[in-house]
């Protein structure tokens, strides 16, 4: 347990598991275009530098000089250049119809260049299409491109009905001030933040998230640590506004709807692409870390279980070697989504019987953010599914240790749950030993393909080391000036509190059933997410089913063993 605690501290203090840094649709990588000028230089990004700035390239109407002067005159560009004296300008051909003008700050020799402004100009009429400064230069996902994540799932006609369906069965008109109503409202309020994110208003979307996470953290601690009156509450049935059979029908219909929507109207972001690349390398016996292709160079930032999970889909729908439609990523995302839904039902049925099982499955298929993950073809539903599987196997210490090891070697955050799961239902030496054995054996097997071609330092540098070093505007810690000393100190305090919470909850008096285990597991994941430098909406499904189990699992007669 001591070694686990040390590793836990490293993970929590290093930063969040990676998410997509650049959202893009299937096959949307910018190809290196041919400008008709033999001596043009093609950058790795696919941008083309014309050989002469005063000559119109073949097939174009503007020169580099003219495009540069247009960009120089923009107020945002002039402001950035005033703040960065002696900055330089470079002009590129981008795609068949546009120009990109990039401005770089002066940096000491040997350091990577810092792009401070970027302008997109249409060739045919010299119209300025986009102007980006500050963090929106490097983080294209902060620009609010329509459908960059999940495509049509962001459409109001999809999102709003799902959001309403999610809360409808759990409303009790006779008790409008019921706390559960507030809980559901808080879960739904993440949609408000996402709306501002989609509008490129990161300055509003980011501050909205922390209070929601903090509220849910408090609620989960209240449920998990308050065992008093649990038996009495369990004798009260779960109140539903609609008949259970209606919810069953809704689950069946929405499962088909989600699959059809994924197949026809979704896109694959770099997270799903990374899974396919890793699976291909896994099967071919090549190194998993440090050798990903340039169009997804940081895709090796996940645990080996992620890449292993994509193997059946990559074998059935072979990868072409490029960022195309990636059917294997679609197949994997659909399978992870269905598995999580099934496990919601199984865990709920184990806790309180089929009514709770159906309610949790219904919550999964109606909560818009689980569809957001599926429609982005990300791997985050796998994290939720494996944590739920560990919860389902909680009665058997070796099994829950093995399943939590698998969950921990996806995106690493579930490693924070190890002390709590090791001491469930009580901190006995025999229980901890069996849990540790199951965890260690499974982790050792999962690392075999890693150590066949890499060492532990390679693994660390590509995963947790990389995540710890990168900045991000998608948390308060990264959005505001990262050089402010008190902000950095505050983040470290929050991260340290998360570490302490994960350790303390393993040994304090707590609710000892699966509802309590789910509540405190959710609390730990929420505390982790509050302290990370990079947070994104794809992480919500990690804790969502645990929160729903903690909120709904308190009612209803216990299922027979």
> What pLDDT does residue 398 have?
97
Tell me: do 359 and 444 sit in the same domain.
yes
* 79 has a pLDDT exceeding 80: yes
Of 104, 138, 172, which residue sits at a domain end?
Answer: 138
Strands, E, within 29-158: which ranges?
41-42, 48-49, 88-94, 98-105, 114-122, 128-133
Residues 16 and 99 in one domain: no
- Assess contact for 364 and 341: CB atoms under 8 A: yes
pLDDT at 29 over 60: no
Q: Label residue 555 by pLDDT band (50, 70, 90).
A: confident
Indicate whether 6 and 109 sit together in one domain: no
Q: Which domain holds residue 277?
A: 2-22+242-552
Q: At what angle do helices 304-316 and 270-284 cross, to 10 degrees?
A: 80
Domain match, 278 and 133 both: no
Domain count, the chain: 2
Residues 15, 121: one domain?
A: no
Tell whether 419 is covered by a domain: yes
Which tokens in the block code for residue 37?
Answer: 């000028």
- Whether residue 355 is found in the same domain as residue 408: yes
Question: Does residue 213 form part of some domain?
Answer: no
Query: Does residue 144 sit within a domain?
Result: no
| pLDDT tier for residue 232 given thresholds of 50, 70 and 90 | low
Residue 196 resides in a domain: no
pLDDT, tens only, 412-439: 999 999 999 999 999 999 999 999 999 9
Do 17 and 102 belong to one domain?
Answer: no
CA 263 to chain centre: 21
pLDDT in tens, 144-181: 999 899 999 999 999 999 999 999 999 999 998 999 99
Mean pLDDT of 371-377: 98
Residues 6 and 47 both lie in one domain: no
Domain final position from 82, 106, 138: 138
pTM for the structure as a whole: 0.90
Q: Which residue has the tokens 């290093």?
A: 14
Q: What CA–CA distance (Å, rounded) separates 370 from 524?
A: 20
Q: Is residue 266 part of a domain?
A: yes
Residues 408, 519 share a domain: yes
Same domain, 489 and 456: yes
User: In terms of domains, do 6 and 55 share one?
Assistant: no
Q: Are residues 10 and 54 located together in one domain of the fold?
A: no
Q: Is 476 a member of any domain?
A: yes
């Amino acid at each position: 347990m001591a070694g686990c605690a040390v590793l836990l501290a490293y993970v929590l203090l290093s930063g969040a598991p990676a998410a997509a840094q650049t959202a893009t649709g299937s096959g949307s990588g910018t190809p290196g275009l041919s400008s008709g000028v033999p001596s043009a230089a093609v950058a790795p990004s696919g941008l083309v530098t014309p050989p002469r700035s005063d000559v119109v390239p073949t097939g174009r109407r503007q020169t580099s000089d003219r495009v540069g002067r247009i960009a120089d005159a923009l107020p945002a560009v002039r402001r950035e250049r005033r703040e960065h004296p002696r900055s330089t300008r470079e002009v590129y051909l981008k795609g068949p119809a546009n120009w990109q003008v990039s401005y770089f700050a002066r940096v000491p020799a040997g350091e990577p260049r810092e792009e401070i402004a970027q302008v997109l100009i249409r060739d045919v009429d010299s119209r300025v299409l986009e102007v980006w400064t500050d963090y929106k230069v490097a983080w294209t996902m902060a620009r609010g491109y329509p459908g960059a994540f999940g495509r049509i799932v962001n459409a109001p006609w999809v999102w709003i009905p799902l959001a309403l369906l999610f809360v409808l069965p759990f409303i009790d008109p006779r008790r409008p001030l019921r706390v559960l109503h507030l809980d559901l409202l808080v879960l739904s309020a993440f949609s408000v933040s996402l709306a501002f994110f989609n509008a490129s208003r990161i300055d509003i979307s980011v501050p909205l998230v922390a209070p929601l996470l903090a509220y849910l953290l408090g609620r989960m601690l209240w449920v998990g640590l308050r065992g008093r009156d649990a038996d009495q509450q369990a004798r009260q049935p779960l109140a539903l506004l609609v008949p259970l059979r209606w919810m069953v029908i809704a689950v069946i219909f929405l499962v088909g709807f989600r699959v059809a929507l994924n197949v026809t109207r979704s896109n694959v972001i770099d997270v799903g692409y990374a899974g396919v690349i890793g699976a291909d390398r896994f099967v071919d016996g090549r190194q998993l870390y440090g050798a990903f292709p340039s169009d997804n160079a940081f895709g090796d930032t996940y645990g080996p279980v992620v890449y292993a999970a994509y193997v059946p889909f990559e074998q059935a729908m072979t990868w072409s070697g490029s960022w195309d439609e990636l059917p294997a990523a679609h197949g994997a995302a659909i399978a992870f989504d269905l598995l999580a839904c099934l496990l919601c039902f199984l865990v709920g049925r184990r806790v309180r019987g089929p009514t709770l099982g159906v309610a949790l499955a219904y919550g999964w298929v109606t909560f818009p953010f689980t569809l957001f993950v599926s429609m982005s073809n990300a791997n985050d539903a796998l994290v939720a599914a494996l944590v739920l599987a560990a919860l389902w196997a909680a009665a058997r210490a070796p099994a829950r240790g093995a399943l939590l090891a698998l969950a921990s070697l996806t995106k690493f955050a579930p490693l924070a749950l190890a002390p709590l799961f090791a001491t469930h239902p009580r901190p006995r030496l025999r229980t901890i030993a069996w849990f540790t054995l199951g965890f260690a054996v499974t982790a050792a097997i999962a690392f075999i393909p890693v150590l066949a071609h890499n060492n532990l330092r390679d693994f660390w540098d590509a995963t947790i080391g990389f995540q710890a070093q990168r900045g991000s505007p998608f948390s308060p810690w990264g959005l505001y000036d990262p050089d402010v000393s008190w902000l950095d100190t505050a983040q470290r305090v929050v991260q340290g509190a998360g570490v302490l919470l994960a350790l303390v909850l393993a040994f304090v008096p707590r609710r000892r059933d699966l509802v309590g285990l789910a509540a405190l597991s959710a609390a730990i994941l929420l505390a982790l997410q509050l302290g990370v430098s990079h947070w994104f909406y794809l992480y919500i499904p990690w804790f969502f089913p645990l929160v729903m189990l903690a909120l709904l699992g308190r009612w209803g007669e216990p299922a027979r063993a």
